[in-house]
Each structure stands twice: as structure tokens, then as C-alpha cells.
Amino acid sequence: MMYGILLVAAGLAIVLLLQNKRKRERGGAGEYVEAAPSLLSEQQIKLIRDSWKRVVPMRKQAAELFYARLFELDPELKPLFRGKLDFQGDKLMTTLNVVVNSLEDLDSVETMLQAMGERHITYGVDAAHYETVGAALLWVLEQGLGAYFTPEVEEAWVIAYGAIATTMKAAAYPQPA
């Protein structure tokens, strides 16, 4: 269930990207600063992919660390998980892999992230949980990557997670027009 929260963060970033795209299409002058064509720079995409390649060989351990840290940060989240955590961990890593491989075209995973955001409401996920998930993810990346987890790598992951979470939350908790 919480793997979806990670995707929510990526979704959040995607939503921000899409919101800026829609504003540009509507000609919303003065409502925003013109965004770059991509939420992430080519260098940031490279940093995420290079760091992800270091995580993939230890994905099982990374997932275990993620859930341990998540429950340490917020023990009230543990009852939201009804299935086996190893299965949840596999889904988390698979989803992150899909997003990492779609960074140049986040629109291609928007529908998936929106569906996940909507589905996570039924599991009892609140909007505030996305922040905790993001903190747990960044902590795991820092632990697993060690010295490779530079401020630049961290910033790139923060942006990517923000896109996931934004997209998922926007679908789960739509704002009235």
C-alpha cells in the first residue's frame, strides 16, 4: 500500500509539471513563472538513474529498510499494511523502476499514478502520509548510496518524489474548482 505513496510523491511532481503545462496552454499570464520543458534537467535525470542503478542490486534490502524507517517515523502507518511486506517491497521497487525509466516523459505514467492515488484512499492513506514516505525514501537512499548521495542527487530525488506525490495526491484529494 505504501509503495503507492512513493508513487504519489512522484505523482505530485508530475502534477506540478502538468499544472504548469495546462496553464501555458490556457495562456494563464501572470499566474506562474514559465517552467522549463522538463521538471528535471538532463543532469538530474542522469543522477537519479545512476543512483537507482546502485540501488537495484540491493532492492530487497532497500525495501526492508524503507518499511522499517517508515514505521519508525510513524508507527501508526503499520496497520495500513495488510499484506506481506516483502510483496509490498517488490511493488514499491517495481513502481519506482517504472518511474525512473519514465523521467523524460512523466506524462506516460500520469494515469498510473493517478489511479494509485485514488486507490490509496481506500487503504486509509492521508495526504500527510506522503511526506513521511518521502522522508523514509530519502533516508534509505542516503543509507544505501553513502557518499554517492550528494546534495545534487538528493535534490533530484526530492523533485522526482515531489512529482509522484503531487500527481497521486491531486487524484486522491482533488481541489474544488
pLDDT at 63 exceeding the cut of 70: yes
Question: What is the mean predicted confidence (pLDDT) over 161-176?
Answer: 89
Per-domain residue ranges of the chain: 2-26+59-172
Question: What is the mean predicted confidence (pLDDT) over 4-29?
Answer: 38
Confidence at residue 81, expressed as pLDDT on a 0 to 100 scale: 87
Confidence at residue 174, expressed as pLDDT on a 0 to 100 scale: 85
pLDDT at 44 exceeding the cut of 90: yes
Provide the strand spans (E) within the chain. Answer: none
Cβ proximity of 7 and 95 under 8 Å: yes
What is the band of 62 on the pLDDT scale with cuts at 50, 70, 90? very high
Q: Is 19 exposed, middle or buried (0-12, 13-18, 19+ CB in 10 A)?
A: middle
Q: Choose the most confident range, by mean pLDDT, from 14-18, 108-112, 138-142.
A: 138-142
Query: Could you report the per-residue pLDDT of 73-92, keeping only the tens digit for each?
Result: 999 999 998 878 889 999 99
Predicted TM-score (pTM) of the model is 0.77
Q: Side-chain half-sphere of 111: how many Cα atoms within 13 Å?
A: 1
Query: Could you report the per-residue pLDDT of 4-16, keeping only the tens digit for each?
Result: 443 333 443 333 3
pLDDT at 150 exceeding the cut of 80: yes
What is the band of 93 on the pLDDT scale with cuts at 50, 70, 90? very high
C-alpha to C-alpha distance for 94 and 89, rounded to whole angstroms: 8
Cβ proximity of 133 and 70 under 8 Å: yes
**Architecture per CATH, 2-26+59-172:** Orthogonal Bundle (1.10)
What is the band of 124 on the pLDDT scale with cuts at 50, 70, 90? confident
